Every structure is written in structure tokens, then in C-alpha cells.
Amino acid sequence: DAGVIQSPRHEVTEMGQEVTLRCKPISGHNSLFWYRQTMMRGLELLIYFNNNVPIDDSGMPEDRFSAKMPNASFSTLKIQPSEPRDSAVYFCASGPMGGPYEQYFGPGTRLTVT
Amino acid sequence: TQLLEQSPQFLSIQEGENLTVYCNSSSVFSSLQWYRQEPGEGPVLLVTVVTGGEVKKLKRLTFQFGDARKDSSLHITAAQPGDTGLYLCAGPSGTYKYIFGTGTRLKVLA
């Protein structure tokens, strides 16, 4: 069974550009999480979806960040406009129940904003 | 605010040595998880401990949850280069959120 799939794996963009990160969760999982990882702040939860509905977006840093989950097999995280401080590794994780008891992480997208 | 502090931050050892890394908090957690993250990959769940004083073993890895459920340790016996990675502890914060510790970056030299 395929794990969580994220694309692209690497993204380099210029400040001010729009960035869209994509995630395909494991089939049958109904929880989806977006995280950001940096050396300074570690792994931080950005947003959590349950059954495609955003439950908690309190971790989204600013209005420049938005996330959608149009169906059970696809989610996007968009940054518009991007800034150098957004440079980080962004992870998507999915889980089989309505909670994070088991989280399966994707390989991450390394974003560099110049 | 719940925080999970891990120590040491960095650890470099020779193959065959034993090591222990720690995860500490001033808050009580109902459970704690340990993850290993290899370079260029996402974290992978190793174990969940749920009972104070619980000890779980996974081959050469031994996990312990403190009696007061405020701390946990991970002991690796006879470390191997394949154990190299970032070790993260995580605890529940509310119904569905987990907070992650600061991490211990382990390097095992052949």
C-alpha cells in the first residue's frame, strides 16, 4: 500500500510568488495534518482536517497561508505571497481515526524562498 | 503551555555503544510517542507508551514512561549506523493534536 504522497519534493521560488504544496493521504484515512519543520521551531502543526473538514487552523501562521481538502484523497497547502521566512520542510500526515493516535507522515516538501 | 524538552540535542557515538535520550515535561501526558526521522524523510512512529512506569522493547530499543507520566526515555543498546536520525517524542495536546519535542539528533559512527 502506498504511503502518504507529497509533491513536489523540493520547491525553490522567489519572494512574492505563490506556492502550492500537494498531499495524497493514505486511502481510508480520515484525518489529515499539515506540519512545518524548521531547525529553530521544530515540528509545528499548521492545520488539521477530519473527514475533509478543517477542524483547527490555529497553527496557520498568517492569512498568507491557506489549506483545502476538496476530497478524501487530496489536500493542498498554499502560500501567497511567499516570504523567505516561509522556508522550511512541510509535511503532510494522515491517520486512520478521528485523532492523531497513529500518524503516517509523507516524505515532506522542502521549500526555499529566496 | 505544554512543552516537551529533549536531551541531549546532539549525540555522536561509535557503533556498539549504548545511549539514552530523554523527553521531559512539567505537564502530565496521557501517553507519549517516540518517532525516528531519517534525513530527507518524514517521522516514523516507533512506539506509544500509555501507562505510568511502562517499559516497551523494540529489538535493541527500550522505551520507558515515567511513573508520573511527565517524562520518557529511550535507551539504545549496541547502537548501529542504521540508528542514525532525529528522535522525536510527542504527546497529546487536546483531542487530536500532538505536540512534538525539540528532538535529539543521533549520529552513530561505523
Mean pLDDT (10-residue bins), chain B, 110 residues:
90 97 94 94 94 95 96 97 96 84 95
Distance from the Cα of residue A90 to its chain's centroid = 6
Going by pLDDT thresholds of 50, 70 and 90, the confidence category of residue A100 is low
> Could you give phi then psi for residue A55, rounded to 5 degrees?
-100, -40
Q: What is the mean pLDDT of residues A9-16?
A: 97
Contact present, A12 and A77 (Cβ < 8 Å): no
Residue A9 has pLDDT above 70, yes or no: yes
pLDDT for res B88:
97
pLDDT for res A96:
84
pLDDT for res B97:
81
A97 vs B104, residue with greater confidence: B104
Among A61-65, A110-114, B59-63, B95-99, the range scoring the smallest mean pLDDT is B95-99
Of B42, B95, B102, the CB nearest to A91: B42
For B38, residues 6+ apart whose C-beta sits below 8 A from its C-beta are B44, B84, B85, B86
pLDDT for res A57:
92
pLDDT tens digit sequence for A67-94: 999 999 999 999 999 999 999 999 999 9
Contact present, B6 and B104 (Cβ < 8 Å): yes
Residues from chain B that touch A100, judged by Cβ atoms under 8 A, are 92, 96-98
Mutate to test the interface with A, among B31, B41, B97 (most CBs of A within 10 A): B97
pLDDT for res A103:
87
Going by pLDDT thresholds of 50, 70 and 90, the confidence category of residue A62 is confident
Among A35-49, A94-108, B30-44, the range scoring the smallest mean pLDDT is A94-108
What residues in chain A have their Cβ under 8 A from chain B's Cβ atoms? 4, 31, 42-45, 48, 50, 55-56, 91, 93, 98-108
A106 vs B98, residue with greater confidence: A106
